[in-house]
């Protein structure tokens, strides 16, 4: 049973192709990251998965009842205070004022908000706090599918780590599926069970990476070692336009590095390309 | 809500000290000017306010002020109502916005006195002419603001609202209207100022009552003190409505704009 099935979805903006057709199936509770450089069409993929884009090519079916989403910007309503912003998804689901405020406040508490903060408007919140509100808003509806469009890209590494941890904890609690797009390999390795690397313009699926353990079982050290391993892969370097690494005898990956299963996809001979 | 508005209003009154100081400076300059020019050209503030008190005592002030205020508020409400409906309608389609843009420029550039002449020809002299002139003078400001408000709707916020499955009436209420309101409020304040100015002008030329007509009387009798007294009345009424009513309401409903201290 797939939470999200993307079959042969490709997209053009006018005459310009942004994304070659690709397939992606997300099982319930699974976490997948789409990793790629800017302009490879990964935002388009997420927009389509969220139902914000008309799908002209291929098919996207979503079996998720409750959809939580985070964008690159926090996208908070500037005229609503933090609590009302967190409660927005609950309001959309028709919950009464009292109940949605209670649930939003409970979620805000888990996100580390003090009760006083909840009365503040977004203009009075720091960037980190705004992202936290956006995360709490997405999680407050107890989603079965979370869609993330590099939401932590503008934060410093400490804040990023903290919000990622909150997201991992809540995902473990709720058991929701997660599809994230990012250009940060470390973030992808921290949050996702499985990685798809997109590259080139128009974007296509280059390879699939499956680390030995799911995201929940990886330690911080595993993530850093995997990150180093990933950055050294020729295919990944090519996807991001990095120059090839000079070959030295001592540069072999350390024997202790966690294993990654790699599947490479051939360049599209015809228009259709699957991964 | 009412209690909060009341509290905001009182806080606003307290913060009015700097405005009072500015007005006091203006009065001082007026006094100096009056002493230099003599009472025929420029009566002193005291004489002028004395005349206002006199007008009040003989019961001439309130009916004229009421007449003008009634016309201003009718013209203002009509301009807001028509401007918002037409502006939103035009803003909803790119073609409408393109068509409306030169229209706004033309209407904003049209001198109110020209409208007044046309209105006199079409409607004759009476309330209709004054109210019509006020409405068309204030309309393009409101229309333009409503149009811009709709055109500048935040696309990422709309996407977010759709992704969270907000039904359409909540999308209008929680996302659209607050944004539109942020555009409309400053426009409404500008429009209200325009309304007062145009009202007095229109009354002066096309009406037998109201403050404009009283000004015309004062001019024909070369009564500078009375003329100044009426002018001061208009300004006081404008100050009272803008700073006593609109500003505190605006501050309260737009609290989200400023970071908390």
Q: Which among B164, B174, B259 is the nearest to A69, CB-wise?
A: B164
Predicted pLDDT of residue B144: 93
Query: Which residues from A are below 8 Å from B260, CB to CB?
Result: 120-121, 124
Predicted pLDDT of residue B202: 93
Q: Which residues pair with A147 in a beta bridge?
A: A69, A179
Phi, psi angle pair for B226, to nearest 5°:
-65, -45
Which DSSP string corresponds to chain A?
A: -EEEEEEEEEEEETTEEEEEEEEEEEETT-EEEEE--TTSSHHHHHHHHTT-S---EEEEEE--SSEEEE-SS----TTS-HHHHHTHHHHHTT--HHHHHHHHHHHHHHTT--GGGGGS-GGGS-HHHHHHHHHHHHHHT--SEEEEESTTTTS-HHHHHHHHHHHHHHHHHH--EEEEEES-HHHHHHH-SEEEEEETTTBEEEEEEEESS-GGG--HHHHHHHHHHHHH-HHHHHHTTPPPPPP-GGGSPPTTSPPEEEEE-PPPSSS----
Give ∠ CA B231-B232-B235 in degrees, rounded to 5: 90
pLDDT tens for A233-265 read 888 888 888 898 887 655 555 545 567 777 777
- Integer Cα distance of B50 and A72 in angstroms: 64
- Integer Cα distance of B77 and B89 in angstroms: 18
Cβ within 8 Å, pair B170-A92: yes
Predicted pLDDT of residue A274: 44
Predicted pLDDT of residue B97: 86
DSSP B154: -
Locate tokens 């944004």: which residue? B179
- Integer Cα distance of A6 and A18 in angstroms: 16
Percentage of chain A with pLDDT > 70?
92
Report domain extents, chain A: 1-65+145-154+180-246+260-275, 71-143
Give the residue from A91, A65, A264 showing the smallest Cα distance to A145. Answer: A65
**What would the CATH number be for the domain defined by B43-254?**
1.10.3720.10
Cis amide linkage into residue A155, ω under 30° from 0: no
pLDDT tens for B189-206 read 889 989 999 999 999 998
DSSP B257: G
Question: What does chain B come to in residues?
Answer: 261
Cβ within 8 Å, pair A91-B257: no
Chain A positions touching chain B (beta carbons under 8 Å) = 47, 50-52, 67, 69, 71, 73, 75, 77-81, 88-89, 91-93, 120-124, 137, 141, 147
CA distance A70 to chain B (A): 8
Predicted pLDDT of residue B40: 84
B256 CB within 8 Å of a chain A CB: yes
Residue A45 CA: distances (Å) to CA of A29, A225, A228, B65: 20, 29, 27, 64
Predicted pLDDT of residue A269: 55
pLDDT tens for A132-183 read 999 999 999 999 999 999 888 888 899 999 999 999 999 999 999 999 999 9
A-B interface: how many C-beta pairs under 8 angstroms? 64
Contact A101, A89 (CB under 8 A): no
Q: With 0-12 CB in 10 A as exposed, 13-18 as middle and 19+ as buried, what is B258?
A: exposed
pLDDT tens for B129-159 read 999 999 999 999 999 999 999 999 888 999 9
Q: Which among A79, A91, A123 is the nearest to B259, CB-wise?
A: A123
CA distance A201 to chain B (A): 24
Predicted pLDDT of residue B34: 92
Contact A229, A260 (CB under 8 A): yes
CA distance A82 to chain B (A): 11
Average pLDDT, chain A: 87
Cβ within 8 Å, pair B165-A93: yes
Cβ within 8 Å, pair A91-B260: no
Confidence of residue A122 (pLDDT cuts 50, 70, 90): very high
Percentage of chain A with pLDDT > 90?
48
B243 pLDDT above the threshold of 50? yes
Query: Which residues from B are below 8 Å from A77, CB to CB?
Result: 157, 174-175, 178
Structure tokens at B203: 């009354």
Mark which residues 134-193 of B lie under 8 Å from A by CB: 156-157, 159-167, 170, 174-175, 178, 182
Q: In what order do the strands lie in the sheet with A2-13?
A: A16-27, A2-13, A57-62
pLDDT tens for A193-207 read 999 999 887 888 888
A4 pLDDT above the threshold of 50? yes
- Integer Cα distance of B164 and A136 in angstroms: 13
Cβ within 8 Å, pair A80-B256: yes
B45 pLDDT above the threshold of 80? yes
Cβ within 8 Å, pair B257-A71: no
Predicted pLDDT of residue B231: 92
Predicted pLDDT of residue B25: 93
A273 pLDDT above the threshold of 60? no
CA distance A83 to chain B (A): 13
Predicted pLDDT of residue A256: 56
Contacts of A50 (CB under 8 A, 6+ apart): A67, A69, A147, B163
Reported pTM: 0.82
Contact A150, A72 (CB under 8 A): yes
Contact B210, B130 (CB under 8 A): yes
Average pLDDT for residues B102-128, to the nearest whole number?
A: 89
Predicted pLDDT of residue A272: 47
Mutate to test the interface with A, among B153, B158, B163, B180 (most CBs of A within 10 A): B163
Query: Which residues from A are below 8 Å from B162, CB to CB?
Result: 51-52
Structure tokens at B114: 């020209």
A51 pLDDT above the threshold of 50? yes
Pairing of strands A16-27, A67-70: unpaired
Q: Is the dihedral of CA A161, A162, A167, A171 positive or negative?
A: positive
> Given 2.40.50.140, 3.30.470.20, 3.40.50.300, 1.10.3720.10, which CATH number is that of A1-65+145-154+180-246+260-275?
3.40.50.300
pLDDT tens for A100-112 read 999 999 999 999 8
Produce one character per residue of B202-214: b if its CB has 16 or more CB atoms within 10 Å, e if not: bbbbbbeebbbbb
- Integer Cα distance of A29 and A199 in angstroms: 26
Cβ within 8 Å, pair B256-A120: no
Cβ within 8 Å, pair B256-A78: yes
Cβ within 8 Å, pair B256-A122: yes
């Amino acid at each position: 049973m797939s939470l999200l099935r993307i079959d042969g979805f490709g997209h053009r903006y006018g005459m310009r192709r942004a994304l070659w057709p690709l397939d992606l199936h997300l099982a319930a509770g699974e976490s997948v990251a789409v990793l790629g450089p800017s302009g490879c069409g990964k935002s388009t993929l997420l927009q389509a998965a969220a139902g914000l884009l008309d799908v002209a090519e291929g098919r996207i079916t979503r079996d998720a009842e409750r959809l939580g989403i985070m964008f690159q910007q926090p996208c908070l309503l500037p005229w609503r205070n933090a609590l009302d912003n967190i409660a927005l998804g609950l309001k959309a689901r028709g919950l009464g004022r009292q109940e949605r405020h209670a649930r939003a406040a409970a979620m805000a508490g888990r996100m580390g908000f003090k009760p006083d903060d909840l009365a503040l408007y977004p203009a009075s919140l720091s960037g980190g706090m705004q992202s936290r509100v956006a995360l709490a808003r997405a999680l407050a509806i107890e989603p079965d599918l979370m869609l993330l469009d590099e939401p932590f890209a503008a934060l410093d590494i400490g804040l990023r780590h903290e919000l990622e941890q909150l997201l991992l904890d809540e995902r473990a609690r709720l058991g929701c599926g997660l599809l994230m797009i990012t250009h940060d390999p470390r973030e992808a390795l921290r949050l996702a069970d499985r990685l798809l690397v997109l590259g080139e313009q128009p974007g296509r699926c280059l390879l699939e990476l499956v680390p030995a353990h799911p995201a929940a079982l990886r330690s911080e050290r595993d993530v850093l070692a995997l990150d180093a391993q990933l950055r050294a892969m020729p295919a990944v370097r090519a996807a991001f336009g990095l120059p090839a690494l000079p070959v030295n005898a001592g540069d072999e990956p350390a024997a202790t590095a966690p294993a990654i299963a790699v599947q490479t996809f051939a360049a599209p001979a015809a228009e259709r390309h699957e991964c | 809500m009412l209690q909060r508005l009341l509290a905001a209003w009182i806080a606003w009154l307290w913060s009015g000290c700097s405005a009072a100081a500015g007005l006091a400076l203006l009065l001082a300059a007026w006094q100096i000017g009056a002493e230099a020019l003599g009472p025929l050209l420029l009566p002193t503030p005291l004489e002028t306010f004395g005349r206002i008190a006199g007008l009040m005592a003989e019961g001439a002030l309130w009916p004229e002020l009421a007449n003008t205020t009634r016309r201003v508020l009718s013209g203002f409400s009509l301009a807001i109502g028509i401007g918002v409906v037409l502006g939103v309608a035009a803003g909803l389609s790119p073609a409408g916005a393109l068509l409306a843009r030169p229209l706004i420029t033309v209407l904003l550039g049209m001198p109110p006195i020209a409208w007044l002449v046309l209105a006199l020809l079409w409607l004759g002299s009476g309330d209709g002419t004054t109210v019509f002139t006020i409405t068309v003078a204030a309309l393009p400001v409101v229309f333009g603001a409503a149009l811009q408000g709709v055109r500048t709707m935040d696309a990422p916020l709309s996407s977010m609202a759709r992704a969270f499955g907000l039904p359409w009436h909540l999308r209008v209420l929680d996302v659209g209207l607050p944004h539109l309101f942020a555009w409309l409020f400053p426009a409404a304040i500008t429009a209200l100022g325009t309304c007062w100015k145009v009202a007095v002008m229109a009354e002066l030329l096309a009406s037998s009552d109201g403050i404009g007509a009283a000004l015309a009387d004062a001019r024909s009798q070369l009564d500078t003190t009375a003329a100044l007294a009426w002018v001061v009345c208009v300004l006081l009424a404008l100050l009272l409505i803008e700073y006593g009513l609109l500003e505190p309401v605006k501050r309260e409903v737009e609290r989200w704009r400023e970071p908390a201290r």
